[in-house]
Amino acid sequence: MNRISIITICFNNLTDVIDTCLSVDIQSQKPFEHLLIDGSSDSVINEHFKNTPQPAYRRWISEKDEGISDAFNKGVRNANGDILVMLNSGDAFYSENALAIVKAAFENENTLQWVHGKYELHRGHTWIIIGKPFEKSKAYRGMRSICHQTMFVKKTLYDKYGLYDKALKISMDYDFLLRIVNERFKFIETPLVKFAPSGISSRSYLLSLKEIKNSYQKYNGKSVLLEIWQLRLKLLHYLLNT
């Protein structure tokens, strides 16, 4: 079966959660379930969903977590669908047909284990559509061509390769991607998601590069291409921030 579970993690951001839920609820192909993993420090999100009508497919868990990876993992463990997608609070599906497009892709090719697609990104003062097929040979570049919000993954891959690494603060999605690179996937040319990335601090950016390097070397060993690529990114980062 190809039942889709959407996992949305959230923290003290009710308005963003509501926006994401609206984009789920207008889908022509309804999800099997929509799980909200609420790690908020207050009860605002929990109270809202307890006191407003919600579709039968929506469930929420409101309890403290140990960070993003732990919240993702909680969603995976509690999901009952066959295909999982991490749609963060504040993100939205690009169109009302996004889930229908994904479901059709899995049904047309029953050996697919995961898919990803194009996405609309807010950059500068405009929205642009980007994304291209993931290339294993360029995995050392990190998540340069792939957006984890567009990754729909068979739950069996989590059973096979494990959950997100709780030791990672930023690049847990990249670490998981490196584990499933040899599984059959498909790139969907249609935009699936739209999102406005939050600004990343200089410290966080450099931490993400460190995590990417460590994960890549863990699975692939040392790489000259990785060293050159990261040196280029660091130089560009310093030039733009000095």
- Beta-strand ranges (E) seen in the chain are 4-10, 33-38, 58-62, 83-86, 92-93, 114-123, 126-130, 152-154, 185-195
The answer to the question of residue 209 being in a domain is no
Return the higher-pLDDT residue of 226 and 199.
226
- Summarize pLDDT for 20-60 with one digit per residue, the tens: 999 999 999 999 999 999 999 999 999 999 999 999 999 99
The answer to the question of residue 191 being in a domain is yes
Number of domains in the chain: 1
Query: What range does the domain containing 134 cover?
Result: 4-198
User: Would you state the pLDDT for residue 115?
Assistant: 99
Res. 200 pLDDT band, cuts 50 70 90: low
Alpha helices in 33-164 (DSSP H): 44-50, 68-78, 98-108, 155-161
Write down the pTM of the prediction.
0.95
Res. 123 pLDDT band, cuts 50 70 90: confident
CATH code for position 18: 3.90.550.10
User: Would you state the pLDDT for residue 46?
Assistant: 95
Share the mean pLDDT of the chain.
95
C-alpha pair distances (Å), 56 with each of 1, 31, 205: 20, 10, 39
